[in-house]
Each structure stands twice: as structure tokens, then as C-alpha cells.
Chains A and B, each alone.
Chain A
Amino acid sequence: MFLSEAASSGPEFFYLVPLVVLIPVIGLLINIIFGKWMGEKAVGWIASAAAGLAFLVAVLLGYSLIGHPEGAVVPLAEWISIGEFNVAWAFQVDTLSVTMMLVVAGVGALIHIYSIGYMHDDVRFNNDPGRYRRFFVYMNLFIAAMMILVSADNYLMLFVGWEGVGLCSYLLIGFWFEKGEDGIGNALAAKKAFVTNRIGDFGLMIAIFIIFWAFGSLNFEEVFAQTSQVAETVILAITLLMLVGVAGKSAQIPLYVWLPDAMAGPTPVSALIHAATMVTAGVYLITRSFPLYNSAPQAQFIVAMVGGLTAFFAATIAVGQFDIKKVLAYSTISQLGFMVAAVGIGAYAAGMFHLVTHAFFKALLFLGAGSVILGIEHSHHHLEHGEHEGEGGGEFDPQDMRNMGGLRTRMKTTFWVYIIGSLALIGIFPFAGFWSKDEILLEQQMLDPPVYGLLLAAAILTAFYMGRQVLMVFFGKPRSEATAHAKENRAIITFPLILLAFFSAIGGILNLPRIHTFTDWLEHTVTTIHPVEFSFLTAVVASIVALSGLVFAWFIYDRRYKKQQELPAEKRPDDPLRQIFGPIFTALENKWWVDELYWVLFINPYIKFSYFLADVIDWRFWHDWFHDSVIVRSYNGLARFLSGPFDLGVIDGIANGLGKVTVRFAGSLRMIQTGFVRNYALSVFLGVVIIIGYLILR
């Protein structure tokens, strides 16, 4: 190839890699320090430029990798050095990490640009324009942390990035921390995400501890080189504990519950962090640790099973949601399940490929949803201002799909990009999702039929819920005043959408069958993957599944919906599926009551246990009984003993006794002092006699 020849003779840019972290940090520092005096525009563009420059650096790195596919490790500084054990701040540049960098910075930059327009309105709807700058600082911080995560050359540095993105996720979910249900809903959602992730991080930490214990190093290269020398059970423990971390970060069963609640954050956050990049960190971690997983087949089996179950389970819930972003959230969980299932069976290229295409179309869908929400909110506020008082703005939910409908003609650009995103997600030929999902299904079919079945079922549900969403949002008649008057957003919002739609449409060319550009690219790093032969049958089955889901959705949400609209309002169900499935739909709508189950199983017992510890152990036992009774009483007793019997008795007794003895002795001495001179004279006389007698007789 011409390009690779040019690159191999061309310059290397590996030494630039620290910039992917530094540039966003510089961007956020500028915004922190000078943002106050800069305009809103400048703040947004500086943040976007930081993300864009990071993307440029990633492109240069990728270009260098074409010529030098072995990559490089670029040390920046020594970090921890204890005897033989060394952990450095070193950046790993290889095809895997650069793929992640390109996705993070590329999608990130587009979402930054989108946010300039979106947050401009969002901060005004929420009556706090001052928070505009904070948003971009957090976003840059997220890019920096994510870059640390993907460019680390050891597990500890990876963990720093891992926690950094978790922190940004928390900060951005709780961005409107004083809003939400009862004024605390968003804060609770942020807390839930943080605590759930902490459970996952706990697993990852233990895994890192065991790696350190078993391998004596945290460096990827050194650890993977010794994999064959370590006992299989140890590797199994490491990989399974790592899976706990993956389940937390990548929202897999049983720790996925935080991701739907994370939709409390502004929509660009949902797109960037909770769909495109951060949540894929778990997939990246498994791919990065592929030598460990390859030597632990049991762990691989469990990973694939968790992924398959998550893909199916989350897809069922997505069917019963009414919040436009919640549907996408469960869809994200489901798609992450696809990726985890793929990397679980060792199909790392398929998993990573799906990660990349998913980043495009899911970011697109979220940003499209944001555009829809913004359009409806705009006209809602417009209407309110027109009527001066309105019907009480708090009751209207601009994210509820039951309030939407008919936006096809009102928001044309958004509609078309949304269609492209949906088709890519559903996996319709020739959009990006078709190729990546097909590759996953193909590998599953060969290696793990039960999971293949789960994924196929998830695929049909995916088609169904996306069809349902598109039909509910864009087709039919508007179901609220605000929707009826919604208008298309400005170019700054639609421009990133169009770009993402472009990538969602053509993303498949990254890894076309027979050419396998992406697989070859990754193979330099993930050495165990091999291109799989395209199977026409699998593709047809997948397409039929997707189309049948779409047709089913059309049948219910177009034909049936229209009929129901003619019914009188009180008889009209809010969703045609409720009529058909009844209680099952209620179960879906309530997310199978998993949150409630967790409350009953874990959270309530935990709270009760905390109360027990706080009230019974700490307060009653420790404070009331131990402190007040044991310590205080014994102290008082001792003090009383010391002040009473001991001080009064012994100490005073000694002092008084000395006095009494002195008095008595003095009294007896007093007898000598008669006061009669003759007595004294006699004493003198006798004394002289004695002395002289002694002198004479000695």
C-alpha cells in the first residue's frame, strides 16, 4: 500500500503521546483560570479545541503506527520505585490504545462542539448560566482521564484513569445536582453511579493486587510475558475479579443499574461518557488483558455469558421505557453486552470493532435525542412565555416519548440522522452496526451457540425498541403542544450530528469482510485474533431478525397506534404493548423491578446493618454502655477510691501521723523544760561532771 510505504519511511510521532493527556489538561486549566473573563463562546471553543488537538495527536500517532505497527512505550516519569518493583508514568502507543484514543478524542471533539450549542440553552433553561464553564472543565477533565486510562502501560496508571473517568462521570451525572426528583434526584443518581462503580472498582483493585502478588509487576508487557508461569487458578481469580470491575464500569449484570440513572446528566454527557467512551473501558480492559483471559477459559465462558445475558436482559427493558434517553441507556447496556460477549469468546477484533461503530451511532443517537429534547424544550418555554403563566412548567417532561410524535416534518435534519443512527444500531446493511454486529454474531455462532441465541434475541429486541422509539418520536401526530411547535436546532447542534451520521453510515468500511483492515490493525497488538470468513447465512439471519423486529414495531406502533388514537382519551392506553402483554409490559416498564430487588436484597439490609452498627453497636454498646458505663463508671470509681480512702486515708494519714508523732515527741520533750533555773544548773552540773568524768576515766 502506498500509505504504509510513505508512513514507514516517514517520521515517527510516538514521542507526542503525552500530549493527548496534556492538551485537555491545558484546556481545562485555561478555562478554570481565565474562563471567568472569557465569553461563553471562547470557553466552549477552547474546550473543543483541546479535544480536537488531542484527536490530531491521536491521528499522528495512528499515522506513525501504519509504518511502525509494533508501537512504542514512551516513558514520561518515574512514579513508584520500591526495590525491584517499578511503576512508571509511561504511555503505551500501539494499535489498540490508539484506536481508543481516536474514538475518545474524535467523538469527544464532536460532542464538545455540540455542547457549545446544547449547553448554551441548557444552562438557561436551568437558570444558571454560570455553570456553562464548569461543564467544559469537567468534559476536558474526562478526556484527560480517559486518555490516561487507554494510554497506560501498566495496571496502576490504568487504574488512575479508571478512577478519573469515574469521578468525571459522577460530577457530570450530578451536574444539575439540585434538580431532579424532590430536588435530590440527580444527586442520588450520581451517588448511585459512584457507589455501584466503587463495587466494581473494588474487584478491579483486588485483581491488581493479585497481579502484583503473582507477577511482581504491574507492567502489561512483563505481566503478559509471565502468564504461562502462573497457576491457572490465580489467573482465573484475576480475570474474574477484573470482570467485576468491567461489570461496574461497562454496566453489565449485575452492576448495570447505575447507567439508566446516569441519564440525569446533560445529554452530551450521556452521549460521550455513558454511551461512546467511558462505559467501553471495560471492553478495552478485557481486550488489553487478552493473554490473561486466553489462559483462563472458564473466565472467558463467564464473561461471554454475562455479556450475552446483559445484552438480552437490557434489551427487554428498553422495550418498556418511555423516557427517550432511558431507552437509549438500556440500548447502550445491551450493546455493551454484545461487546463483552465478543471479547469473552476471544473475538477481540469483533468486540473492539463494535466498540468503535457503537461509539459513532450511539453518540449520534444520544445527541439526536438531545436535539429532540432541546427542540421540544425550546417550544415549551416559548409557549409558556406566550401564555405568560402557562400550565405550570414543572409537570411537562420533554424527555417523555408519550409527549412526542410527528417530529419527522418539524426537525428534518435530526430525523434523518436519527434514522441513520437507528439503522446502524439495528444492524441494517450497509450501515456500520451491520458489519460489527455481524462479526460478533458470526464468532458467537462458531464458538458459543447459547450466547449466540441470546444475542440473536437481543438483536430482534433491538430492532423492535428502536423502531418503537423512532415511530413514537418522529411519526404519527404530535401528542403535546410543545412538540407540535418544535423547530430544528441551530447548525452548531446539527453539524456534529451530520458528521456522526456520516461515520455511522460508512463505519463498516473499517473492517469489511475479506479485507479486514481493522483486524489486521489490531492484530499487531492483540496477537491472538484472526480474521474470520464472512458467512452469508449469518448475515442473512441477522438481517432477517433485524427486519422482523422492525416490521413488528411498525405493525404495533404505526398501525395499532393510529387505531388507538381514535379511541376516547380515557380508554386509550399510553402504549399499545400494554394492551397486548399487560403485566409483562408493566414488568418491563418497571425494569423487572431489579432496582427494587436490589433494595430488598442488598441496600435495605445494608442500611439496616448500618443502623445496627450506628445505633446498637456504636451508640448503645460503645457509647452508652462501654463509654458511659464501663469507662466513666470505672473512672469515677477509681477517682472516688483515690480521693476517698486513699487520699484521705493513706496520704492524709501519713501527713497527720507525722504531725501527731512530732506533737507527742515535742510534748515529752517539753517536760524537760521546767523553767526552774536550778534544774538547768543541775543539768549543766551533771553534764560537766559527766564530761570531766569521761576525760579522767577514759
Chain B
Amino acid sequence: MPVISYFILSAILFTIGALGVLIRRNAIVIFMSVELMLNAANLAFVAFSRLYDTLSGQVFVFFVITVAAAEVAVGLALIVAIFRTKQSIDVDDMSSLKR
């Protein structure tokens, strides 16, 4: 299978993630879309690593996974905290600063 198909998949995944972030209102779903975008990037890293036959891309992926794990922990904690105060995780409700 040629390497280009991995890039195409990566692009499709990123686009789906980006659209998910922009369109969806459920914080959990947005969160998952962010994860999708991160993993699309990971896929692109690995693909390039394979293409140029270097390891630095793979090392980056490890870092990204680690950061994503930390991000998930913080993000979920925020969502729980928001839910406790607002009884909702709809991001459109989170506009107190505007008023």
C-alpha cells in the first residue's frame, strides 16, 4: 500500500476532527474530535517517518500521546466541573463572559 493513502486518511481524520470541533455542541464530542485531530497528526508523523526512514517522527508521536493523555485528564476534569455548576455540557451555554 503506497504511503500516500496514509496521508489521505490522516487528512480525512483531521477534517472530520476539525468539523467535529466546529459543529458539535456537546463538550465530550468536541473533546473526542480534538483527540481525532491529534491522532490524525500522529498518523501523519508516523507516515512521514516511514517515508523518510527516520525515527524522529515516531519519537514525536510518543510525546503527542503523552501530552494527549495529560490533556484528557485536565479536559475531563474541566468538563466534570462545568457540568457540576451548569448541569450541562453544552458549549453554547458556556458564554458567561459575554453577558
Contact = CB atoms under 8 A, between A and B. Distances in A.
Interface of A: 673-678, 681-682, 685
Interface in B77-99: 91-92, 94-95, 97-99
B99 A675 contact: yes
Nearest to A673: B98
A675 B98 contact: yes
Nearest to B18: A685
A678 B21 contact: yes
A89 B25 CA distance: 115
Given A685-B18, A685-B22, A678 B91 contact: yes
Interface in B1-54: 18, 21-23, 25
Contact of A682 (B22, B95, B98): B22
A676 B22 contact: no
Nearest to B96: A675
A674 B98 contact: yes
B95 A676 contact: yes
A676 B91 contact: yes
A676 B92 CA distance: 6
Contacts of B25: 678
Contact of B97 (A675, A681, A682, A685): A675
Nearest to A679: B22
Chain B interface, >50% SS class:
helix
Contacts of A681: 21-22
A172 to B, nearest CB: 102
Contacts of A674: 95, 98
B22 A675 contact: no
Contacts of A682: 22
B37 to A, nearest CB: 10
Interface residues of B, number: 12
Given A674-B95, A678-B25, 9 more contacts: A673-B98, A675-B97, A676-B95, A678-B22, A678-B91, A678-B92, A681-B21, A681-B22, A685-B21
12 contacts: A673-B98, A675-B95, A675-B99, A676-B91, A677-B91, A677-B94, A677-B95, A678-B21, A678-B22, A678-B25, A682-B22, A685-B22
Query: What 9 A-B pairs have minimum CB-CB distances, sorted nearest first?
Result: A675-B98, A675-B95, A677-B91, A682-B22, A681-B21, A678-B22, A676-B92, A681-B22, A676-B95
A36 B91 CA distance: 111
A674 B98 CA distance: 7
Nearest to A686: B22
B78 to A, nearest CB: 12
A673 B22 CA distance: 16
Contacts of B99: 675
A676 B97 CA distance: 10
A676 B30 CA distance: 13
A675 B91 CA distance: 10
| Residue among A673, A675, A682 having the largest count of chain B Cβ atoms under 10 Å | A675
Contacts of B95: 674-677
A681 B94 CA distance: 14
Contacts of B92: 676, 678
A141 to B, nearest CB: 99
A681 to B, nearest CB: 5
Nearest to B95: A675
Contacts of A675: 95, 97-99
B66 to A, nearest CB: 23
Contacts of B18: 685
Contacts of B23: 678
A682 B24 CA distance: 12
Nearest to A682: B22
Nearest to A670: B98
B67 to A, nearest CB: 18
Contacts of A678: 21-23, 25, 91-92
A677 B30 CA distance: 11
Nearest to B24: A678
A673 B96 CA distance: 12
A191 B55 CA distance: 125
B82 to A, nearest CB: 11
Nearest to B99: A675
A42 B25 CA distance: 126
Contacts of A673: 98
A685 B30 CA distance: 14
| Residue among A673, A674, A676, A685 having the largest count of chain B Cβ atoms under 10 Å | A676
Contacts of B91: 676-678
B92 to A, nearest CB: 6
A678 B34 CA distance: 13
A228 B67 CA distance: 125
Contacts of A677: 91, 94-95
B22 to A, nearest CB: 5
A413 B97 CA distance: 128
A678 B25 CA distance: 8
Contacts of B97: 675
A679 to B, nearest CB: 9
